Chains A and B, each alone.
Chain A
Amino acid sequence: MNAAEPLLSLRGASKSYTLGGNTIHALQSVDLALVRGEIAAVTGPSGSGKSTLLNLCGLLDKADSGDLLFEGQPLPASDETRRTHLRRLAIGFVFQGFNLVPVMTAHDNIDYPLYLLGIGLAERRQRVREALARVGLSGLGGHKPDQLSGGQRQRVAIARAIVKRPRLVIADEPTANLDARTAAQIVGLMRELAHREGTAFLVATHDERMLPHCDRSLMLDDGVLKGACHAH
């Protein structure tokens, strides 16, 4: 892949929902290009279409119209197998509600994406240990989600998203539940991954602490991308 080529491109992407007989235009003709190593923040009021944009970019949802290219390759909405494969291989997710699997320990939650990739047990253990250390949770790998605080769960979710060294991380309010020190630690980790491994981050956030550390901030209003300001 050409270094200058966007990792992910949205061209004229629109998405509507029907709710109670009303059509809601969640996204209207959005153009977006995300390059490797970039941290892009998506801001906007509630209902502005942030989650829809994240879902489209994370290949979880399909646009009604417009094109999506991943690493320069068009990704048709009908090709669910390739979308699933790309999510498994190249995309990490941090969900707002953490979405950890309750019957798995923190270690197993983080291990799961590596297991899906067919990585050997020894390497998986090593990488899970590293990921836990990076989010400051060494020693808590054996805890189940219900034995962890909200902030700790958030960090397990972040570790799970980055452990497979994805090319793109989609994060919905990744620092929302964290104290200032831990939030700074997580943002530092994101910057490090973006810089050293070229991981791109698309982050929906209201956290003012986070915005200065993003490369640019995208403002969404009523499904329309109003503009981008370069924050970093």
Chain B
Amino acid sequence: MRIDVKWLSLACSNAMRNRRRSLVTLAIAATGTAAALLGGGFALYTYESLAQASARDTGHLVLAAPGQFDGNDNMPLEHGLAGRVQLTRALLAHPRVTRVLPRLQFSGLVSNGDKSEIFLGTGVDARQEFLVKGPFMKLEEGALLDDGADGATPGPGPGVVIGKGLARILNVHPGSALTLMSTTTAGSLNAIDVTVTGIVSSGIADIDKRLAMVDLSTAQELLVSDKVSFLSVYLDDLEHSDAVGAEWRKRYAGQLEVRTWLEQALFYQSVKGLYNRIFGFLGVIVLVIVLFAITNTLSMAVLERTREIGTLRAMGTTPAEVTRLFSLEGLVLGGGGALLGMALAAGVAMALLVLGIQMPPPPGRTGGYPLVVAVSPAMYASAALAVTLLAALASFLVSRKAAHQSVVEALAHV
């Protein structure tokens, strides 16, 4: 069955026969496509941002001693990782690895002398930790741990960076003295005096109320251990996480547990699951609207042109060729609408970048975020293809019956 310029040209002429109706159909298809692309683009941008935030937080890969990820330690660092220096050196030898950061997670009480509060602490490599956090950890006041000359702090004892919620509760500022109390790996209580160097915000209010970060050596001194909780490995690209993770699982089988950022990113997974359902449902609604619009237009066209269909059939046009002609009309309307919709969506996405509109903070967050809609060529191509094919399918279905009706009846249609 041929589809050439003649058929296409005839389909285009037919599609524009009733201009107003066709333009309305084009507008509906365009709006529907644009709505689906903008919704999808917003979801895509959200996924990318959350993926980046998760990967920056945990590292692209997390390596720990067996049992660490189960979270049922009886004592701090019961499943801690020893020999981090040698392991770090080995991991850095991999061509895809850019950084290996040790992290020691601990908890306890922090006191300003008058008031005590629970904290969730992390011992970090002060010189590198804040480099990888990037925009996902904002310095509100003071300085980061590595900003002091050779680790010097503005007061006695090692430095600590705390969340702004915790700073507010304890009423402290950079230079204030605090005492961190925690349980050692042997189960006894230990304390260490620290000085606040900086106050930070992670953007999540609940975390900011508990956050405390100290240099790894300080945390190890407090817990009386040379172990770390895990090593966070940063790669040159997020995309390589699975491949390198699989490679290391084989290499360190039985010695280490390897998890990718995605396995650690529960928030990312739940948001993605929710958004996929919401935007997927909206996408289906949009496609149904486009389907109805195209079906309505083509149904009217088929009815109006029944006599013409009879003439074409009388001249030897097969029913398949008649349905193909109408399907091409649907293709023209759907394809035209999809192209317009893509242009509209891309225009809106560009305008949002220029305007810099801010969204209000989501529940549990302290800051808003820029309203950005991602422009993904794959998503645009898929949406355009879906709308176009759906339009062609709708046209095929509405014209099939007319194409197969009796030629005499079609010719007698008034």
Contact = CB atoms under 8 A, between A and B. Distances in A.
Nearest to A161: B315
A57 B240 CA distance: 73
B314 A60 contact: yes
Contacts, number: 56
Contact of B10 (A55, A58, A104): A104
Interface residues of B, number: 22
A59 to B, nearest CB: 9
A60 B307 CA distance: 13
Contacts of A88: 315-317
Given A60-B314, A113-B316, A103 B10 contact: yes
A60 B408 CA distance: 6
Contact of B315 (A87, A102, A118): A87
Given A61-B407, A103-B13, A112 B314 contact: no
A60 B407 contact: yes
Nearest to B11: A103
A58 B316 contact: no
B276 interface: no
B171 interface: no
Provide the main secondary structure of the chain B interface: helix
A104 B318 CA distance: 19
Contacts of B13: 103-104
B335 to A, nearest CB: 19
A85, A102, A103: most-surrounded residue (chain B CB, <10 A): A103
A181 to B, nearest CB: 28
A86 B313 CA distance: 12
A115 B315 contact: no
Contacts of B14: 103
A84 B408 CA distance: 13
A70 interface: no
B408 A113 contact: no
B315 A112 contact: yes
Contact of B308 (A87, A101, A116): A101
Contacts of A55: 408
B311 interface: yes
A93 B317 contact: no
B17 interface: yes
A95 B317 CA distance: 16
A87 B14 CA distance: 24
Contacts of B315: 87-88, 93, 112-113, 116, 160
B403 to A, nearest CB: 11
A89 interface: yes
A147 interface: no
Nearest to B406: A61
B18 to A, nearest CB: 11
B315 to A, nearest CB: 5
Contacts of A113: 315-316
Interface of A: 55, 58, 60-61, 81, 84-89, 91, 93, 95, 99, 101-104, 112-113, 115-116, 118, 160
Given A60-B314, A104-B13, 4 more contacts: A60-B411, A85-B316, A103-B17, A118-B2
Nearest first, the 6 closest Cβ-Cβ pairs linking A and B are A88-B316, A103-B13, A99-B311, A87-B316, A60-B407, A61-B408
